[in-house]
Structure 1
Amino acid sequence: MSQFKIISRPLGTVQCYVLQRDDGAEFEILSGYGGGLNAWRVPVNEKHGELLDLLFGYRDGSTIHQVGPDTNAGCRLTPFPGRTGFAKFNWNGNEYQLENNVSWAPHALHGFLQNREWTFQSFESDNDCCTAVFTCDWSGAYAGFPFPFRATNTIIYTGEKVTIYSKVENLGQKDMPYSEGWHPYFSLGEKIDELTLSMPVTNLAVLDSADLPTGNFKEDSRFVPSRKISDEFINDCFCLGKEFAQTPADADFINNAHVLLESEKYLLDIWQRAGIEQYNAIQMYTPPDRMSIAIEPMTTEPDALNHHRGLIVIPPGESRTFEFGFNFIEK
């Protein structure tokens, strides 16, 4: 008999589904707003029956509409993550004009599905895990991105482990330019200043005065092998090296890149599958309250529709699937 179930628990008028384990562990998917990974609650010894929430998310409907456009917490970022410079791009000799959807810069940010409603498709479970599937369609009826596609999120949940398969299918009649990412904010229940961060040696994307990648990179080893975050402000895109990014899709091994976030009592292992046409960049951001840190898997650095580095071209009828996840360990 399965120890998992799925329940509907809306936040105000915004639909939210919760994957629950019998001991109270649960994972929230905010299907009514971007398919967001909204909460991940696990039982821990020190809480004596209470749950530790490992994700920053929205706790009521009004908060979603107030801060959601600025935080995009937990949402899938498709068909481009981060900024598209000056809300326009060129592709195959054509110029496309996007909407400048932020007030603080003249760019387009995070694609089109980060605030849309996703459709619940299925739920399966056994004694070890459960799987929930959600979809969202982009019709392509928009001159700025006339490429119809279907996005599918498959979430596998055990309680202490979450694996996400992020699929996109080109539903149109022509090649589609594509990049993507996700925007989860992780927390261990305390200020991040006291947490230790570890990540691979990476190449930091250098930005220009408009906060767009210049095409230049510099090696970054700030958190190699590991150190406390302290009071450091981070708002950077870390690009993985060739040993990760050039792993063939049909290789007989999976090359995962890991970021470790650690306190005295807990460890989060945040991983992403790297390789050709996979998640080869990690965007990080430390918000002002410093109670969480955004650790975002991305296929490439922002503005890929313009610079085309790491841009994925998906032919008609074809699909691509990306993979990432996170594991929790209580010491």
Structure 2
Amino acid sequence: MYTVTLKQQQYKTYVLSEQASGSELEVVPERGGIITGWRVKGQEILYLDKERFANPDLSVRGGVPILFPICGNLPDNTYTYNAKQYTLKQHGFARDLPWEIEEVSEDNTTYFKLHLVSNEQIKVVYPFDFHLSFSYKINGNTLEIQQHLHNSSTTPIPFSTGFHPYFQAPDKTQLEFAIPAREYQDQRTKEIKFFSGNFDFNVDEIDVAFKQLTGKSATVTDNSRKLQLTLDYGDDYPIVVFWTLKGKDFYCLEPWSAPRNSLNTSENLTVLEPGASYQASIRLTANFF
């Protein structure tokens, strides 16, 4: 049995609960359509910096922010389209704008559906008409996120998309990684390095992109929490980014459809024709052992 409740905190928070599995999902539409909490068997999977979340002037560091229409940043936060220069902040605008709740279901396929529609404010930085929707579903220990983008413009829409989930990790030295790649690119130095299966958590920041993936699933085992977390992604996400900061109890495992600066370089850039639609999904599974 599923229930959907609404909590009025600083922001309206929708809570989807599945009694049989003890799973819960929290979503805040007006704060970028973000998932702020995901609990399995009563244990929180995600990390959330509550002070940043409470400050609308700061980007959220935690939960599952949505990346659209870019992943990562652009040089000087600018890109050129049709000989005109535009400005976009890191990871795009979707994670900073209010979304609207479109549908809440309470049957066997219970989910939240939210949408973001282009407007004059958005067109200042991204000159296209679109309708972007996300569906969040839980089933036992699994969370599935489905996205749908419709191009309402008379011109093609260039974009990249991704997710930036923050996972709790109180002791990162207890993490084990099974990522289907033999190498990664350091996103700061651009160096290509061999992946030994682990990371040096003594450095201040780790920001690497796995671009030569040989599989569609990545797993992180947290021995301190007795938790195995699996990220499943499709062909729409040829890049997985790993990011963390020293002294912070989180790590991020992020599926991206294209690398940084793809709006300028066109590398892996998706171009959606007028009137066409794009669909993609990811799945997260949390197993305690």
TM-score in terms of structure 2 length: 0.88
> C-alpha separation between the residues in 1 aligned to 2:223 and 2:58?
28
> C-alpha separation between the residues in 2 aligned to 1:72 and 1:90?
31
Query: Cα deviations across residues 24-49 of structure 1 (Å, max 9, x unaligned)?
Result: 43111121211112111122xxxxxx
User: Residue type matched to 1:176 in 2?
Assistant: I
Aligned to 1:150: 131
Native 8 Å contact 1:85 1:212 kept in 2 = no
Native 8 Å contact 1:239 1:282 kept in 2 = yes
Native 8 Å contact 1:72 1:114 kept in 2 = no
One of 36, 39, 50 as aligned partner of 2:37: 39
> C-alpha separation between the residues in 2 aligned to 1:72 and 1:171?
31
Native 8 Å contact 1:177 1:305 kept in 2 = yes
1:4 aligns with 2:5: no
Aligned to 2:229: 268
Summarize the Cα distance change of 1:17–1:59 in structure 2 as closer, same or farther, 3 Å threshold.
farther
Native 8 Å contact 1:196 1:228 kept in 2 = no
1:178 aligns with 2:159: yes
Summarize the Cα distance change of 1:73–1:304 in structure 2 as closer, same or farther, 3 Å threshold.
farther
Q: Structure 1: any 5+ residue segments left out of the alignment?
A: 44-50, 100-107, 245-255
Shift of 1:73: 4.3
> C-alpha separation between the residues in 2 aligned to 1:222 and 1:260?
14
One of 184, 197, 207 as aligned partner of 1:204: 184
1:222 aligns with 2:188: no
Native 8 Å contact 1:259 1:270 kept in 2 = yes
Shift of 1:297: 1.0
Summarize the Cα distance change of 1:314–1:279 in structure 2 as closer, same or farther, 3 Å threshold.
same
Q: Secondary structure at the match of 1:32?
A: helix
Summarize the Cα distance change of 1:70–1:328 in structure 2 as closer, same or farther, 3 Å threshold.
closer
> C-alpha separation between the residues in 1 aligned to 2:78 and 2:189?
13
Native 8 Å contact 2:180 2:217 kept in 1 = yes
> C-alpha separation between the residues in 1 aligned to 2:261 and 2:189?
7
Aligned to 1:98: 87
Native 8 Å contact 2:26 2:36 kept in 1 = yes
Summarize the Cα distance change of 1:259–1:165 in structure 2 as closer, same or farther, 3 Å threshold.
same
> C-alpha separation between the residues in 1 aligned to 2:239 and 2:27?
24
Matches within 5 A, 1:221-300: 221-223=195-197, 227=198, 230-231=201-202, 233-241=205-213, 243=214, 256-263=216-223, 265-273=226-234, 275=235, 278-300=236-258
One of 115, 119, 123 as aligned partner of 1:135: 115
Q: Secondary structure at the match of 1:289?
A: coil
One of 59, 67, 70 as aligned partner of 1:77: 67
Aligned residue pair count: 285
1:17 aligns with 2:14: yes
Q: Structure 2: any 5+ residue segments left out of the alignment?
A: none
Moved >6 Å (runs of 4+):
none
Summarize the Cα distance change of 1:220–1:318 in structure 2 as closer, same or farther, 3 Å threshold.
farther
Q: Secondary structure at the match of 2:8?
A: coil
Identity across matched positions, percent: 18
Query: Cα deviations across residues 139-196 of structure 1 (Å, max 9, x unaligned)?
Result: 25534320121111111101310011122111111011110111110125x3222221
One of 54, 76, 94 as aligned partner of 1:86: 76
Q: Secondary structure at the match of 1:69?
A: coil
Native 8 Å contact 2:4 2:106 kept in 1 = no
> C-alpha separation between the residues in 1 aligned to 2:196 and 2:8?
41
Summarize the Cα distance change of 1:257–1:42 in structure 2 as closer, same or farther, 3 Å threshold.
closer
Q: Secondary structure at the match of 1:74?
A: coil
Native 8 Å contact 1:57 1:74 kept in 2 = no
Summarize the Cα distance change of 1:27–1:126 in structure 2 as closer, same or farther, 3 Å threshold.
same
